[in-house]
Amino acid sequence: MVASTASERVDLELDTAFTISRGSTVETTNHLVTVTDRAGRVGIGGAAPAAYYGEDGDSVAAALPDLLAAVESVGDPGEWQTIERRLAEIAPDEAAARAGVSVAVHDLVARQRDEPLYREWGLDPERAPATSVTVGIDDPEEMAARAREWRTASDSGTASDSGTASDSGTASDSGTASDSGAAGYPALKIKLGTGDDRARLRAVREAAPDASLRVDANGDWSADEALAALPWLDDLGVALLEQPVSGDDHAGLARVTEAAPMPVAADESCVTATDVPDIADAVDVVVVKLMKCGGLGPARRQIAAAHASGLDVMLGCMVETGAAIAGAAHLAPLVTYADLDGALLLAEDPCTGLSLPDGEIDLAAVERGTGARRR
Ligand SMILES: [Mg+2]
C-alpha cells in the first residue's frame, strides 16, 4: 500500500541551447514525483510540461497535490487502471503532471514485484529499437558539428551521464565511426523550419554520411513548402519526416504523405489515442509521448490505436529527466522508432536513468522498476 507521496520542482539547464521552429530553450522546469510504500520502496516519475500544450511548471505544481491525493486514496498502486482513471478525471488538461504520477506508480509496482517494468506487460527487451538523438536548429556549421559528435560518440551514454557524448566528441576524435571504432548514435533527428533548411541538412549529411536521418519541422512548413522540399530531403537520404505542416492541417499532411518517398509522422497532429482515427489516413507513423497523452496506460492505448489503424509508432519525449525517459523506454519493445533523448540534452540530470549506450535502449540491464533513481 502507498504510505506517502511527494513532488519536487527541478529547474534543468540544457547542455546547449535547443532550438526548434517555434523557439529556443536554454532551461526548462520538470517535477519529480515519488510514491513510497509501507516497506519503504520508492517509485519515481517525472513531469515535463510543454507550453505548446498549455502546461508549464506552475500548472504541474498546481495539479500534483490532487493527483497524489488520489493515488493515496486508492491505496494499492497495483490498481493502476483505477488510479489513471481518477487522474484523468481530476486533471484532464494536465497530461504531463499525470504522466509523472503514472510513471512513479508503475515504477513502484514493478519494484514491489522485483521485476523490470517491461515484464509487467510481458514485453521482449530485445525488441526495443535504438533511440535517435536530436540536433536542434543552429548555424549549418554548428549543426554539422553536433551531428558529427553524436554520430561518433561512444560512451556509456546513460541518461545519468548526460553531456558526456558531446563532451567526448571533440574535433580531435571526431573521425568517422568506423575509423574511431565507435558505433555512435545510429540515428539523428534534425530540427528544421528556418528558411534555409536545405543548407543545414546538407551540412549535417556531410558531417554524418552514414547516419540515419530523421527530420522534424515542428509544423513550420506549408503543405506546398513541404512538397517542394521532398526531392532534396530524399536526395539527402532522410528516412523519416515528422510533422512537416501545422498540427491542425490534416489535409496538408495527407498531401505530403501521399507524395513523400519516406514515411511521414504525426506528432503535434496526434496528441492522444482519440486523435488517431482522424489522422490515420494522413500519415504513416504516430509519435506517442507520455507528456502528451498523460501516462503509461494512455500511451499503450495510443500505440494500440495506431497499430489498429495500420500505422507505425515513434516513442518520443520532451526535454525531460532520466526518471521520465526511463518510464517511456519500457514501452519501446512495442514500437518501430524511438526518440528518447530528452535527458541526453540536459547539462545535468537529477536522476540516474536507463543506460543508452550508442542509442541502444538497454532494458535488459534494468533490475527492477524503470531503472531510474534520484541522484
Ligand atoms: Mg516532434
pLDDT at 176: 35
Query: And the C-alpha cell for 150?
Result: 553524436
Q: What is the distance in A from the centroid of ligand 1 to the CA of 318?
A: 9
Rounded Cα distance, 1 and 74, in Å = 9
Averaged pLDDT for residues 138-166? 72
pLDDT at 212: 97
Q: What is the pLDDT of residues 303-335, one digit of tens each?
A: 999 999 999 999 999 999 999 999 999 999 999
Q: What is the distance in A from the centroid of ligand 1 to the CA of 214?
A: 10
pLDDT at 181: 44
The one-letter code for the residue type at 333 is P
Using the predicted structure, report yes or no on whether residue 158 has a pLDDT greater than 50. Answer: no
Using the predicted structure, report yes or no on whether residue 179 has a pLDDT greater than 60. Answer: no
pLDDT at 180: 42
How high does pLDDT run on average in the chain? 93
Q: What is the distance in A from the centroid of ligand 1 to the CA of 115?
A: 32
Q: What is the distance in A from the centroid of ligand 1 to the CA of 267?
A: 5
Rounded Cα distance, 364 and 367, in Å = 8
Using the predicted structure, report yes or no on whether residue 38 has a pLDDT greater than 80. Answer: yes
Residue 353's pLDDT band, with cuts at 50, 70 and 90, is confident
Neighbours of 40 (CB within 10 A): 7
Q: What is the distance in A from the centroid of ligand 1 to the CA of 191?
A: 9
Q: What is the distance in A from the centroid of ligand 1 to the CA of 21?
A: 10
Q: What is the distance in A from the centroid of ligand 1 to the CA of 328?
A: 16
- For 79-115, letters b (16+ CB in 10 Å) and e give ebeebbebbbeebeebbbbbbbbbbbbbbbbbbbeee
Superfamily of domain 2-115: Enolase-like, N-terminal domain (3.30.390.10)
Q: What is the distance in A from the centroid of ligand 1 to the CA of 288?
A: 10
Q: What is the distance in A from the centroid of ligand 1 to the CA of 257?
A: 16
Using the predicted structure, report yes or no on whether residue 6 has a pLDDT greater than 60. Answer: yes
Using the predicted structure, report yes or no on whether residue 150 has a pLDDT greater than 70. Answer: yes
Q: What is the distance in A from the centroid of ligand 1 to the CA of 3?
A: 38
Q: What is the pLDDT of residues 71-91, one digit of tens each?
A: 999 999 999 999 999 999 999
Residue 195's pLDDT band, with cuts at 50, 70 and 90, is confident
Q: What is the pLDDT of residues 249-278, one digit of tens each?
A: 999 999 999 999 999 999 999 999 999 999
Residue 177's pLDDT band, with cuts at 50, 70 and 90, is very low
Q: What is the distance in A from the centroid of ligand 1 to the CA of 218?
A: 6
Q: What is the distance in A from the centroid of ligand 1 to the CA of 68?
A: 29
Q: What is the distance in A from the centroid of ligand 1 to the CA of 122?
A: 28
Residue 155's pLDDT band, with cuts at 50, 70 and 90, is low
Using the predicted structure, report yes or no on whether residue 157 has a pLDDT greater than 90. Answer: no
Residue 243 near residue 217 (C-beta atoms within 8 A): yes
Q: What is the distance in A from the centroid of ligand 1 to the CA of 76?
A: 35
Rounded Cα distance, 320 and 309, in Å = 29
Query: Is the domain covering 120-374 a CATH 3.40.50.300 domain?
Result: no
Q: Which of 47, 25, 12 has its CA nearest to residue 324?
A: 47
Q: What is the distance in A from the centroid of ligand 1 to the CA of 233?
A: 17
The conformation of residue 254, written as its DSSP 8-state character, comes to: H
Rounded Cα distance, 320 and 325, in Å = 7
Averaged pLDDT for residues 183-187? 91
Identical fold, 2-115 and 120-374: no
Domain extent listing, the chain: 2-115, 120-374
Using the predicted structure, report yes or no on whether residue 161 has a pLDDT greater than 90. Answer: no
pLDDT at 154: 63
Q: Which of 126-140, 171-185, 356-370 has the lowest mean pLDDT?
A: 171-185
Q: What is the distance in A from the centroid of ligand 1 to the CA of 116?
A: 28
pLDDT at 209: 97
Strands annotated E in the chain: 2-20, 23-37, 42-47, 133-135, 187-191, 212-216, 238-242, 264-266, 285-288, 312-315, 337-338, 351-352, 373-374
Averaged pLDDT for residues 176-203? 82
Q: What is the distance in A from the centroid of ligand 1 to the CA of 49?
A: 14
pLDDT at 156: 46
Residue 173's pLDDT band, with cuts at 50, 70 and 90, is very low
